[in-house]
């Protein structure tokens, strides 16, 4: 496996990350690896825009306020 090194991490950021890792019962390395996996799985803004650009436009049948009112009536 590859190894990453992050330089110039401010002390306060290091402390926060270390505390979050401890809260989850993980080492800092394991916690950061999990976070990196999460970041890598999310599409970039460019990828998201490209995907959404393929969608067909749709016509709304009611305003947002009407939709909220209808849902509230349905739920009660």
- Written as one string, the DSSP assignment of the chain is ----------HHHHHHHHHHHHHTT--HHHHHHHHHHHHHHSPPHHHHHHHHHTSPP---SS-HHHHHHHHHHHH-
Domain that holds residue 27: 11-75
Residue 72 CA to its chain's centroid (Å) = 29
Query: How many domains does one find in the chain?
Result: 1
Residue 5 is assigned to a structural domain of this protein: no
Q: What is the pLDDT of residues 34-74, one digit of tens each?
A: 999 999 999 999 999 999 999 999 898 999 999 999 999 99
Domain-embedded: residue 28:
yes
- Kindly give, in sequence order, each residue whose CB lies less than 8 Å from that of residue 20, ignoring residues fewer than 6 positions away: 31
In-domain check, residue 2: no
pLDDT at 49: 97
Q: Is the pTM of this model over 0.85?
A: no
């Amino acid at each position: 496996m590859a190894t990453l090194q992050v330089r110039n991490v401010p002390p306060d950021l290091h402390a926060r990350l270390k505390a979050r890792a401890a809260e989850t019962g993980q080492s800092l390395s394991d916690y950061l690896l999990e976070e990196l996996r999460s970041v890598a799985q999310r599409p970039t803004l460019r990828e998201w825009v490209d995907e959404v650009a393929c969608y067909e436009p749709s016509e709304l049948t009611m305003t947002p306020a009407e939709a909220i009112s209808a849902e509230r009536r349905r739920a009660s």
